[in-house]
Structure 1
Amino acid sequence: MSRASFLQRLLNGVAVEWLPLGDLTKYEQPTKYLVAAKNYSDDFATPVLTAGQTFILGYTDEVDGIYKASESSVLIFDDFTTANKWVDFDFKVKSSAMKMITSIDEGKILLKYIYYWLNTQPSEFVDGDHKRQWISSYTGKKVPIPCPHNIKKSLEIQAEIVRILDAFSELTAELTAELTARKQQYKHYRDQLLRFPGGEAEWKPLSEIGEFIRGKRFTKADYVDDGIDVIHYGEIYTKYGAWADRTFSKVRRDMEKSLRYALSGDVIMTGVGETVEDVGKAVAWVGKKEVAIHDDSYAFRHAMNPKFISYVMQTNAFIDEKVKHVSRGKVNRLLIDGVAKVRIPIPFPDDADRSIAEQARIVAILDKFDVLINSISEGLPREIELRQKQYEYYREQLLTFPKPEEVEA
């Protein structure tokens, strides 16, 4: 499907007119749709949205001020970041920065066509810039409208482009839904596997199993291209699993004596986080060399299988105990003396060889699940990434019309 040949067949010689986005759409401020309560729960019915990557922040039981997108779909747009989402279900919103965008006349301009075109545009988000992007910039953007003087023909072309892109989007959505289901299945199976309901494990506090070693402080000014390998606490949020063969950040080599290091076999935990749940996230460090850690991280040094411990630290039972030892404030911080008292299961504690074998068996099982739901080189995340790239490729092919000189200018 080359861009030239496909668009030529689709347009069949009709003209394309570039019209201001502000003439094709209208917007509504989110004021009456803002959520008041913060007690989100999966037991509630109405999702609370942001236009950003998180999208669904949680669910509310509020019944007033709900946007009825199930009756008429809408494009939500973050005025500061320019992030946007297509929504076809009822919702409330979190931020007053969001705008609800609709077509000025769905009988002439399909909003879904506008949505797909909008996502071909490069982001204009500038960190620290708080101007309202929709009015100041986006309403003046020129949108290619095929055959605007023949409404029937124009809608047929718009609808065909939407149909093709919907097909790609739906495939990605199906894979994403499958990934979500697999993650829930994995978490349930992991938690059941690590409960040891048969009594073949003894639960011991972490302080009896090993010791916590806190890292040393470094700042952005200490980062270099060639220096000491280091793990910043923030990286743990996005790099679950083992840390062998990773590409690490680096800090100045002259800091070597002042730093503290994680060794092969340690489990590294975050000491702070944006949310209470983020604090204390853990990954297994099973590399062949030492690596420095930031003072908002801890290395848990022990004699067990490091992946086994990191999997235990991801269970709901461990998280429920861990959050009791987090100080809440502007910065949520781990109280390590309290965490050291949290108990974890030790399989067959009176038989070292059998215990090690059982830990390895459980790790092998959970590793297979982990690859399926987290690996970017194989498994569902890889498949989703490939489908997303395919969708983006065809979106660009279908919506990149030749621009006349006055539009280019």
Structure 2
Amino acid sequence: MNKNYIEKLLEGVDSSAGSKQGVEWKSLGDVVNLITTGRLNANAMEDNGIYPFFTCNEKPYKINDYAFDLEAILISGNGSQVGHLNYYKGKFNAYQRTYIVGEFKDSTDIIYTYYYLKHTLRSYIIKNSRKGSVPYITMPMLVNFQIPIPPLSVQKEIVRILDKFTELTAELTAELTARKQQYSFYREELLSFEEGEVEWKTLGELTSLITKGTTPKNYTPNGIAFIKTEAFVGSYIDIEKISFIDEETHNKELKRSILKHNDILITIAGATIGKCAIVPKEILPANTNQALAIIRLNDDVNLKFVFHLIKSNYMNKYIELNIKGSAQPNLNLKQLNNFSIPYPSPEEQERIVSILDKFDTLTNSISEGLPKEIELRQKQYEYYRDLLLSFPKQKH
């Protein structure tokens, strides 16, 4: 598919009111017979319920009673997910701040409307909410929301195209999930050894440095790369998500935590404890904060082997053991030094690494592999969505 195809699809479609093939702008209230809300409190969900219970969260809960039986678009009316959409056909129930849009008139395709709302509704909500207040939906906002209505045949073709992109992304995401499970299985299998089969060493024995960073007083718009956990994507550092500090702070105040190529960074505090990445040469010079520990291995140690071990259940179990009873999950540097790992022969380490690296690239790499493919497909979808759902406003 190319742009010429889309232009041909929309050829002759204009915003002339009354034109047989034109795009007519209508309020949402004019294209449906039902806009209402649920009646239940958010805590009405039941663990073993048989019907979906839509609240203002992304995914529905379960409940044993239904109040609606139709094909509908469900819209989160408030909270952090305000404007989030779900499509459902069948019996369901809903929270009192969840909006139900259904009973579509013959001139309007429900999935076309779903795609258009998904593309434009949230920005409309924020624009029409009072400044300084938490964004939320009111009934008049939804009823009066303007939607372009091209001929039904055009709506269905737009849906067909966007469905293809959505299906492809869903297939790739399912493939990624399966490959991650496969990777995890083989990693645990390859890194499991019988008692007495291999030598065991502590991380402290294999390193020249284990330390942590410090939070700077100020950040700068550019300068020296400053790595925080937020920059971790899988087991890689996303260069687009790094912060910056000035050179003086880097070389003086944060001298202890100046990073080197192939340092391992691991989160040692908070909800993402255990998340790790290897420092690539491209981001240097760089520094980091106190939530991340820096592990610098000796020159004769296989970096990738140790890295795969740190990502494995050995570290997960070690973290669980050491943070029991702690209000805030936290690993200290002494505990990291004492972390004990199996240490087979160099040849066996190399064999294990060669297998696991392939899985790691496929499931985690942001420059190649499935995550990159998903990102490209999402951008492609967004490009064509913007093209397909952009219609000129009616002239008054």
TM-score over 0.5 for the pair: yes
- Cα offsets for 1:137-174 (capped at 9, x unmatched): 55433101235xxxxxx4x4433332232122112211
Instruction: Identify if the C-alpha distance between structure 1 residues 96 and 298 changes in structure 2 by more than 3 Å, giving closer, same or farther.
Output: farther
Matches within 5 A, 1:128-207: 129-133=133-137, 135=139, 137-146=141-150, 154=152, 156-197=153-194, 200-207=197-204
Rounded Cα–Cα distance in structure 1 between residues aligned with 2:87 and 2:302? 45
Does 11-20 or 209-218 show the bigger shift? 11-20
- Cα offsets for 1:335-383 (capped at 9, x unmatched): 44445444222113xxxxxx2x433433332222222222333222232
1:352 aligns to what?
A: none
Gaps of 5+ in 2: none
Structure 2 length as normaliser, TM-score?
0.76
Offset of 1:403 from its aligned partner?
Answer: 1.5
Matches within 5 A, 1:3-402: 3-8=6-11, 13-23=20-30, 24=32, 26-29=35-38, 31-32=40-41, 34=43, 55=58, 64=64, 72=71, 74-77=73-76, 79-80=78-79, 81-88=81-88, 99-105=98-104, 107=106, 109-121=108-120, 123-124=122-123, 129-133=133-137, 135=139, 137-146=141-150, 154=152, 156-197=153-194, 200-210=197-207, 212-219=210-217, 221-226=218-223, 228-236=224-232, 238=233, 240-241=235-236, 249-255=243-249, 256-259=251-254, 260-261=256-257, 262-273=259-270, 275=271, 278-285=272-279, 287=281, 291-303=286-298, 304-326=301-323, 332-348=329-345, 355=346, 357-402=347-392
* SS of equivalent to 1:119: helix
CA-atom RMSD in angstroms: 4.2
Contact preservation (8 Å) 1:75, 1:115: no
Contact preservation (8 Å) 2:237, 2:278: yes
| Identity rate, percent | 31
Offset of 1:6 from its aligned partner?
Answer: 0.9
Structure 1 length as normaliser, TM-score?
0.74
* SS of equivalent to 2:266: strand
- Aligned amino acid, residue 391 of structure 1: Y
- Aligned amino acid, residue 403 of structure 1: K
- Aligned amino acid, residue 363 of structure 1: V
Rounded Cα–Cα distance in structure 2 between residues aligned with 1:320 and 1:6? 57
Rounded Cα–Cα distance in structure 1 between residues aligned with 2:214 and 2:116? 48
Contact preservation (8 Å) 1:10, 1:157: no
- Aligned amino acid, residue 145 of structure 1: I
- Cα offsets for 1:10-32 (capped at 9, x unmatched): 89943432122344462424844
- Cα offsets for 1:200-221 (capped at 9, x unmatched): 43333434444531212214x3
Rounded Cα–Cα distance in structure 1 between residues aligned with 2:246 and 2:383? 41
Offset of 1:298 from its aligned partner?
Answer: 0.9
Rounded Cα–Cα distance in structure 2 between residues aligned with 1:290 and 1:72? 55
* SS of equivalent to 1:229: strand
Instruction: Identify if the C-alpha distance between structure 1 residues 234 and 105 changes in structure 2 by more than 3 Å, giving closer, same or farther.
Output: closer
